[in-house]
């Protein structure tokens, strides 16, 4: 399912064109501050990727890196159609599903039927939101899917690590809500690249996710050597 941005021009906030960093029309980099922070996130993920020895953990982290590389590209160059947001949305699904697969492989257990039904409800609402609602809705549904997968494995040794992510995810959501509703007001006071603030929080989240994957890899390796 693809989103046609050209058919929905009434929305104030459309990724990547109308995030709260005014695009440079004549620059080599369209949104340089956001692009720079995305590059920092990519370097963070690359660093952790080099430390992973377990194949399925490694490839799950690769999916996150691919998402962030495309995210960075979307702030580097704006392609005047819906390609970038459609690819980002698809990559987020691949990140979530690879994360679910990784946790199933690690625990050797599948989530309960209740959680599986909850996944389906979130996915259905996400597809509806992506087709008919604004960015804020499908941004939050994808985060909700990630957090629900984390909750379904909260009784594992990695549960406390994932719980430590929730405050940062909460801050990220609040920043996007603020940007969504008040971007024009903020820009009217000072023409600053406000979108870089959630990008910084995103880099922190990627660091913590990389640390979790590194810990997961160590748990798997220690289990295999016992």
Residue-wise pLDDT tens digits, 71-122: 999 999 998 888 899 999 999 999 999 999 999 999 999 999 999 999 999 9
pLDDT of 12 reads 55
For residues 30-40, give the mean pLDDT. Answer: 96
pLDDT of 102 reads 96
What is the rounded distance in angstroms from the CA atom of residue 13 to the CA atom of residue 143? 18
For residues 51-70, give the mean pLDDT. Answer: 96
pLDDT of 2 reads 59
Q: Which of 190, 183, 159, 154 has its CA nearest to residue 19?
A: 183
Angle among Cα 106, 163, 114 to the nearest 5 degrees reads 65
What is the rounded distance in angstroms from the CA atom of residue 154 to the CA atom of residue 157? 8
Buried b (16+ CB within 10 A) or exposed e, 111-150: beeebeebbeebeebbeebbeeebbbebbbbbbbbbbbbb
Residues 163-211: pLDDT tens digits? Answer: 899 999 999 999 999 999 999 899 999 999 999 999 999 999 999 999 9
State the greatest distance between any 2 C-alpha atoms of the chain, in Å, as a whole number. 61
Share of the chain above pLDDT 90, in %: 76
């Amino acid at each position: 399912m693809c989103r046609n941005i050209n058919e929905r021009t009434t929305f104030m906030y459309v990724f990547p064109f109308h995030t709260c960093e005014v695009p440079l029309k004549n620059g080599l980099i369209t949104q340089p501050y956001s692009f720079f922070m995305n590059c920092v996130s990519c370097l963070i993920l690359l660093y952790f990727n080099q430390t992973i020895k377990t194949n399925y953990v490694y490839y799950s982290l690769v999916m996150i890196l691919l998402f962030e590389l495309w995210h960075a590209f979307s702030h580097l160059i704006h392609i005047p159609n819906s390609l970038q947001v459609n690819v980002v949305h698809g990559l987020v699904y691949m990140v979530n599903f690879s994360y679910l697969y990784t946790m199933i492989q690690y625990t050797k257990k599948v989530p309960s039927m209740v959680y599986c039904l909850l996944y389906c409800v979130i996915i259905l609402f996400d597809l509806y939101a992506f087709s008919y609602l604004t960015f804020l809705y499908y941004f939050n549904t994808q985060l909700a899917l990630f957090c629900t997968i984390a909750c379904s494995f909260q009784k594992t040794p990695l549960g406390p690590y994932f719980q430590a992510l929730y405050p940062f995810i909460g801050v990220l959501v609040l920043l996007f809500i603020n940007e969504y509703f008040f971007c024009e007001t903020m820009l009217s006071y000072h023409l600053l690249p406000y979108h870089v603030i959630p990008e910084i929080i995103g880099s922190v989240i990627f660091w913590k996710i990389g640390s979790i994957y590194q810990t997961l890899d160590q748990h798997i390796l220690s289990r295999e050597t016992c």
